[in-house]
A and B are shown apart, each in its own frame.
Chain A
Amino acid sequence: MSQSIVIGISDYKLAKGPEVLVTYALGSCVGVCLYDKVSKVGGLSHIMLPDSTNFSNRDINRKKFADTAIVDLVDEMKRAGCGNNRIVAKIAGGAQMFEVQPGSKLGAIGERNIVCVKQVLNQLRIPILAEDTGLNFGRTQYFDLATGIMKIQSLNRRIEEF
Chain B
Amino acid sequence: MFENYDELNEMQIDMLREIGNIGAGNAATALATILDEKVDMSVPSVRITGFDEAVENLGGAETMTVAVLVNFSGDAHGMIMFLLNVEDAKSIMDILVGEDDGEDGLSEMKISGIKEIGNILASSYVNAISALTGLTIEVSVPYVAIDMVGALMSVPIIEFGAIGDKLMFIEENFLGETNDLKSNMIMFAEINTLKCIMQKLGLEI
Q: Give me the interface of A with B, judged by CB distance under 8 Å.
A: 8-10, 24-29, 48-49, 55, 58, 61, 64, 95, 97-101, 106, 109, 136-140, 154-155
Contact = CB atoms under 8 A, between A and B. Distances in A.
Among A64, A98, A106: residue with most chain B CB under 10 A: A98
Contacts of A137: 147, 151
Contacts of A98: 67, 69, 143-145, 155
A138 B154 CA distance: 9
Interface in B155-184: 155, 157-159, 161-163, 165
B155 A55 contact: no
Given A49-B162, A136-B145, A97 B150 contact: no
Give 6 closest A-B pairs by Cβ, nearest first. Answer: A138-B151, A25-B150, A27-B154, A27-B151, A24-B61, A98-B143
A124 B52 CA distance: 29
Q: What secondary structure prevails in chain B residues at the interface with A?
A: mixed
Contacts of A25: 55, 61-62, 148-151, 154
Nearest to A139: B151
A101 B140 CA distance: 10
Given A58-B163, A106-B155, A27 B52 contact: no
B53 to A, nearest CB: 9
10 contacts: A25-B61, A25-B150, A27-B155, A28-B158, A48-B154, A48-B157, A48-B158, A97-B154, A100-B143, A139-B151
Interface of B: 50-52, 55, 61-62, 64, 67, 69, 71, 141, 143-155, 157-159, 161-163, 165
Contacts of B150: 24-27, 138
Contacts of B157: 9, 48
Contacts of A58: 163
Nearest to B60: A24
Contacts of A64: 161, 165
Among B55, B69, B147, B161: residue with most chain A CB under 10 A: B147
Given A25-B55, A25-B62, A100-B143, A49 B158 contact: yes
A48 to B, nearest CB: 6
B109 to A, nearest CB: 17
Nearest to B142: A98
Contacts of B52: 8-9
